[in-house]
Chains A and B, each alone.
Chain A
Amino acid sequence: MARELWKGNEALAEASVRAGLVAYFGYPITPQTELLEYLSLRMVKLGRAFLQAESELAAINMVYGAACTGVRVMTSSSSPGISLMQEGLSYIAASEVPVVLVDIMRGGPGLGNIQPSQGDYFQVTRAAGHGDFHPLVLAPATVQEAVDLVYLAFDLAEKYRTIVIVVADGNIGQMMEPAEMPPMRKVKKDRPDWALTGADGREHRIITSLELGAERLEALNLRLQKKIARIRQAEVRYQEHKVEDADILIAAFGTMGRISQTAAEMARAKGIKAGVFRPISLFPFPDERLEELSRQVSRILVVEMNAGQMLDDVRLAVGKDFPVEFYGRMGGVVPLPDDVLEVVERIGAELNDEQR
């Protein structure tokens, strides 16, 4: 396929179609709506299921229903909509059915605004619903990466029978960039051996998140934890930029990873050795690699479009004795490379003073 100019939301939608999406259920919310609009035509033309639900609550439960039958299914939303989906996500996690969710984050809390934000890092990595579970969370920094990750997300969701959240801020959903689409996959005809397909010539199957006995529910939880451990082992993803000789390491995800890379280059032009560590999987968080890097850099600067959420994971990774700084903007304010550079320069100066 040739590289074409794609809007992030539409690229995510087309890549999902190409991954073999059978059914989409969603509800309009800015800045995610183009994804739903794109599929409202594309899915129907392909004879696949598309439905605009009456709410995010209904949408996620439609997704849950379709997922129980073993088909590739997804929904997409933005921050307040994800809050409404948390109920369904918890049931889906406990039922261990594969679901892909795209979250194009906006400013919060509350109705907030429709500007880009990374304010829902905690929500997607820690609090996607009640009870002990973590979805697998992937955070693209470009439209191309969004395409690649959502394409991969369906495989991961099925492999682990888990929720995979592709989380991006409104910048990535809204901006246009060249991207190459993956090949069109055939929709799978066969269904997994746990799926509800009708009890024809076999015992009837049950999918439930209810376990009334304490020990049985604990057993379910232990199974989920085991799965999370396997995911932690195998699904860590990150990208590094000039970390080898870095003195200051900027840790940032999504859009901020990208902006930080520009800032790092600007810093290097001024003689400050800056590098960037960009987690792609927010859960599992690449803590081992970050801990390793912390041994070779003097300072870590976490940059986020929030009040410091991934910051917690960075601190957990490097320990309380390692100096970690934070720079963040909220409310939909997107820091420019100059803003990040200013902080890097200040840290650079402090490091110089210390060396004197």
Chain B
Amino acid sequence: MNNAEEKLVFERPRSLTDAHTHYCPGCTHGIAHRLVAEALDELGLRERTLGIAPVGCAVLAYYYFNVDMAEAAHGRAPAMATGMKRANPDKILFTYQGDGDLAAIGAGEIVHAAGRGENITVIFINNAIYGMTGGQMAPTTLEGQKTTSSPMGRDISIAGHPLRMSELLATLDGAAYVARGSLHDPKHIRRAKKAILTAFKVQQAGLGFSMVELLSACGTNWKMDPVEALGWIKDNMVPYFPLGDYKVTDAVKNL
């Protein structure tokens, strides 16, 4: 083959390592990792990025992202990122958190990080269930959804209502950019990528707190095959967690 005709059309982002992930077949964490890594590459941020892995299925994300990373206690990633950023304002900080981590045990930390307008980027994976501990009810578990700790389906009279974190955080003045995307099909994956790029640009420009929530599949704990699981996001999660931009300040619009 003539070398001149070779055209590289697809490769691993530099911000990802070549490690095999431990994620289940059909899990969308891999897609989310890749989108974050592509965004860091495209913006030329990899070398000055510090990431924080959560407690949850993405606990080992530090093996997969080819950036300097620390592992936080459950829910405390935004506090850790705050400490890193305040001591190193020239660095780019991201946390990667699941729904149990961000919306349950870490609800305090995320609210205050957003309220302070902490100049960090949060990638929030919402799959409506606790993955790592084996499928318990999450703060984002839908009404009627069966989990190992709501075996009859989530009963609102017992467990209360699912939390919509993007809507909640968007009300805070410190939040510059808050968007919810979904990873259930290529069209939405492309949109999610765009939102992640915007979030990092917001941080680069020092405009304040940015978060992208990504509706994600957990076929294993939902007890569905991968295709079924993607359909479940579209049919069940999207109606309760509508997609779109929840906060775009004027400064962000002008980026």
Contacts and interface: CB of A to CB of B under 8 A. Distances in A.
Contact of A68 (B60, B70, B86): B70
Most interface-central of A67, A73, A87, A208 (chain B CB within 10 A): A208
B66 A54 contact: no
Contact of A210 (B49, B71, B109): B71
Contacts of B83: 23, 25, 61-67, 73
A95 B73 CA distance: 11
A54 B48 contact: no
Contact of A199 (B59, B63, B66, B86): B66
A58 B62 contact: no
A207 B112 CA distance: 24
Contacts of A58: 76, 79, 82, 108-109, 112
A209 interface: yes
Contact of B59 (A66, A67, A198, A210): A210
B46 interface: yes
A91 interface: yes
Contact of B108 (A54, A63, A67, A73): A54
Q: What range describes how many residues of B lie at the interface?
A: 35 or more
Contacts, number: 132
Nearest to A195: B68
Contacts of B81: 65
A274 B77 CA distance: 53
Q: What range describes how many residues of A lie at the interface?
A: 35 or more
Contacts of B46: 199
Interface of A is mostly: mixed
A87 B86 contact: no
Contacts of B48: 198, 200
A58 B73 CA distance: 11
Contacts of A63: 83
A69 B50 contact: yes
A71 interface: yes
A205 B53 CA distance: 13
Interface string B91-114: 100000000000000001100100
Most interface-central of A68, A88, A95, A207 (chain B CB within 10 A): A68
B70 A196 contact: yes
Given A58-B76, A88-B76, A23 B71 contact: no
B87 A87 contact: no
A16 to B, nearest CB: 15
A61 B86 contact: no
B252 interface: no
B238 interface: no
Nearest to B60: A210
B108 A55 contact: yes
A204 B67 contact: yes
A51 B82 contact: yes
A281 B24 CA distance: 50
A74 to B, nearest CB: 11
A176 interface: no
Contacts of B109: 54, 57-58, 61
B157 to A, nearest CB: 30
Interface string A62-91: 111111110101000000000000011001
Contacts of A201: 47
Contacts of B63: 206
Nearest to B50: A196
Interface string A1-39: 000000000000000000000110100000000000000
Contacts of B79: 53, 57-59, 61-62, 64-65
A152 interface: no
A206 B70 contact: yes
B70 A208 contact: yes
B71 A209 contact: yes
Contact of A61 (B50, B62, B80, B91): B80
A204 B68 contact: yes
A189 to B, nearest CB: 12
4 tightest A-B CB contacts, nearest first: A65-B83, A62-B83, A65-B80, A61-B79
Interface of A: 22-23, 25, 49, 51, 53-55, 57-59, 61-69, 71, 73, 87-88, 91, 95, 196-201, 204-210
Given A64-B79, A88-B76, A196-B69, 5 more contacts: A68-B84, A198-B68, A200-B47, A205-B68, A207-B69
26 contacts: A25-B82, A49-B86, A51-B86, A53-B79, A54-B108, A54-B109, A57-B109, A58-B82, A62-B80, A64-B72, A64-B76, A65-B79, A65-B84, A65-B85, A66-B86, A73-B87, A91-B72, A196-B70, A197-B91, A199-B46, A204-B17, A204-B65, A204-B66, A207-B71, A208-B53, A208-B70
